[in-house]
Amino acid sequence: MIGSGFGNISIMTRSLAWAIICFLVLPITVVFAVSVTDRHYLSLPESGVSFQYYRNLFGSGPWLTSILQSFVIACASTAVAVVAGTLCAIGCWRLGSRASDLVRMLMLAPIMVPTIVYALGIYQFWIDLRLLDTYAGLIIAHAVTGIPYVVITVSTALAGFDPRLEQASLSLGASMGQTLRLVIIPNIMPGVVSGLIFAFIHSWDELVLALFIAGRAVFTLPRRMWDGINESLDPTMAAVAAVLIAVTVSLLCADAYVRSRRGS
């Protein structure tokens, strides 16, 4: 009786889990169906599948320019976020005091406050620094909001790092820089890679900061989609959304692969 009771609970739990997964995933799959519509507005295909809006996406100068700008900004901001976030997490880990906990909390502030609040504040700050509608302004803003993701993942990796490895390296005559480069970083690399992926995805998909900071010179992909929604319901936006989803899922699969390889 007890065994059958636990079995029923297990079945109910799995059914509930799959129901939640379907509720979250199925609306996303509709985007792929709309992206191959044969109609001239956002709708499911009527007569057959058409890839005309993918051709519009990859054959249109404005869309390709926005894709390139988003990619450049995401790569640059991710590089800054990974270096700064990794060093901050390692520094807080080595200090191991209340001050380090405070620093870690401050580094998480950009994702703790509403994005609109951060965007308003940085907009006023960027006016004085003349960084509005510049690559540098958007890269710095994205890097600051990407650092918390790196700090979280690297701090998690450091929680499982054996500090005796660092002590052994220093006792054998290695400098702190050599220990950091040859001992600490290789052992926490899955956390660094995870932070890199999440920081890149955050920058790649970020819209609010682009609305406040970017102008005519810098026109990222999410902002072009936003303008397209306001001006017209072009199905090309569904093709763009499908590409964004595919890129995000690919990066998350790469993160899972790196973690599994490291675990084995």
Q: What is the mean pLDDT of residues 226-238?
A: 78
The pLDDT score that the predictor gives to residue 145 is 92
C-alpha–C-alpha distance, residues 245 and 29, integer Å: 10
C-alpha–C-alpha distance, residues 249 and 175, integer Å: 40
Are 138 and 213 spatial neighbours (Cβ–Cβ below 8 Å)? Answer: yes
The pLDDT score that the predictor gives to residue 8 is 65
Q: Per-residue pLDDT for 184 more than 80?
A: yes
User: Among candidates 80, 209, 207, which has minimal Cα distance to 134?
Assistant: 209
State the residue for tokens 């989609």: 225
C-alpha–C-alpha distance, residues 99 and 236, integer Å: 50
Retrieve residue 175's tokens. 């400098």
User: Among candidates 93, 64, 104, which has minimal Cα distance to 224?
Assistant: 64
% pLDDT > 90, the chain: 18
Q: Per-residue pLDDT for 4 more than 70?
A: no
Residue 56 pLDDT class (50, 70, 90 cuts): confident
Residue 245 pLDDT class (50, 70, 90 cuts): confident
Q: What is the mean pLDDT of the chain?
A: 84
Q: What is the mean pLDDT of residues 109-134?
A: 87
Retrieve residue 199's tokens. 């920081």
Each residue's pLDDT tens digit, 63-74:
889 889 999 999
Residue 147 pLDDT class (50, 70, 90 cuts): very high
The pLDDT score that the predictor gives to residue 255 is 79
Longest dimension (CA), the chain: 73
C-alpha–C-alpha distance, residues 149 and 145, integer Å: 8
Q: Per-residue pLDDT for 263 more than 60?
A: no
Residue 178 pLDDT class (50, 70, 90 cuts): confident
Each residue's pLDDT tens digit, 18-55:
888 888 888 788 888 888 888 887 778 878 788 888 88
DSSP state of 39: S
Q: Per-residue pLDDT for 261 more than 80?
A: no
CB-side neighbour CA atoms (13 Å) of 127 = 6
Domains of the chain, earliest start first: 60-263 (1.10.3720.10)
Cα 179 from chain centroid (whole Å): 29
Residue 80 pLDDT class (50, 70, 90 cuts): very high
The pLDDT score that the predictor gives to residue 262 is 62
Between these two residues, 104 and 209, which has the higher pLDDT value? 209
